[in-house]
Structure 1
Amino acid sequence: MARLKLRDRFFTPPVARAMTSPAGILLAGAGVAAGILVGLPAAGAAALGAAAWAARVAVAVPRNPRPERIDPFTLQDPWRQFVREALQSRNQFAQAVRQARGGPLRDRLAEIGERLGTGVEESWRIARAGQALTDARRSIDVAQAGAQLIELHDTRNRSRQADRTLDETIQALEAQIDTARRMDEVIEQTRARLRLLDARLDEAVTRAIELSARAERVDELGGLGQDVDSLVNELEALRLGLAETDEAGGGQGLAAPGSA
């Protein structure tokens, strides 16, 4: 999850309520009264009251959520490798930021680095979803279902009477095989897409290293910032699309992408 700047966290309903709440106003009044009691001048007492009110408001400012711990070793390849490569790209970008000349150029690179970090988090979530989908697919024994289908079709062909139970069993096995095929498509498409986006992440880092060494103006980073934003948006879209696919398939990613 992307970290919000203080300004974005300040202009929120909880802070607005704290600024106008009776408790905040009473706290400000108590601060003024305390200042007067200890002999502070009027300006000092007012400042103490304002400080008490500001402290009440500061407590209401929402905090940024803690970054999600990314552990590629909880996954299996290729998902593990995708996450490891994304983490390596993030670390290389951070090193490029540290090596850049101080000032607006480094500040802008740091902002792009935060956005890139969001992309790494998205890559981690996609990889986890891909691993879950892979595990679910392994639970479907297509070979056994196929063998049972052949046997049941032979039985139905030999039978001269309709057998509803037999027909329903055949339909269930066929649906199981179709589900496995759709899951295979989703897994392969997700792998290919994540592999491409990780490669673009590496490309962005390479450009950042080059620009950190030779760029002299912030506007020279414009293209890099736009490319990183586009990359992160695509990662977010892939993750959301995978989640929608999972929901459409009853929690197991059974619908092929774009089939909705």
Structure 2
Amino acid sequence: MDKYLVFGNPIKQSRSPNIHRAFADSTNQLIEYDRQLSQVDQFENDVKAFFAQGGKGANVTAPFKEQALLLSDKLTDRAKLAEAVNTLSYIDGKIYGDNTDGIGLVQDLLRHNVVLKSSNILILGAGGAAKGVILPILEQEPVRVVIANRTVSKAEKICHQFDSFSDKKLHACGFDNLQDGRFDIIINATSASLSGQFPAIPSSNITDSTVCYDMVYGATLTPFLQWAEQQGAAKVIDGLGMLVGQAAESFNIWRKVNPDVESVLKTLRAEMSTAL
């Protein structure tokens, strides 16, 4: 039976084993999928040991995505540009690194019937979460993507990194330079919601046709989505679908089959609701 793991620290909270086991059940794939706590100075050894013992693939969560990038023998374009890896595959003695976060986000937006083509998109934050989704978003052919960050130079750096892929569609600014902007889609790629906060952007950025997305998720709406709803946003979506979507892409990379996302999402939502 093929074996897979998710590495992280902490890792007890990871929903990946439940998600991948559900995918395996629905697609008749015989796999084992578990979680492993790894120490920062032991991650590389742990991954290599797992593959040496017959492991086929692994997911990687915080704080190891950058280490996974350095560990990989071969990288996809989206992993190189994101400068982070969340999916490892072991094939013929080589470690292949990929990043499925952006695909997970895009697929979740499309699942909610959000149109990305020719859209005007605002991404809040310029950290790893933002970098991981930019290439898949650009591939959907938006008309413009603005990266807003408290430190503008970080947003500008990302724009330069993706310059050859962006066709001049990427722009950088600070939160305080957004007064006159209106956007079709606003994506919160900051971690502010985890601490009960949200980025200080003008309410004028949101109209009654704006879709607001938060990469963070919970049993109730995140602070950013609560605020967006109060400003009259057309639709608010949290990041649970992105979590399941990136897992589905990893599963497809390993098993060459597309699992059903909807049924897993419903199960997770129900579990989160009963935990309230």
TM-score class, shorter = under 0.3
With the length of structure 1 as denominator, give the TM-score of the two structures: 0.21
Q: Which has the higher contact order (CA 8 A, sep 6+)?
A: 1
Greater share of residues in helix: 1
Q: Which has the larger radius of gyration?
A: 1
With the length of structure 2 as denominator, give the TM-score of the two structures: 0.20
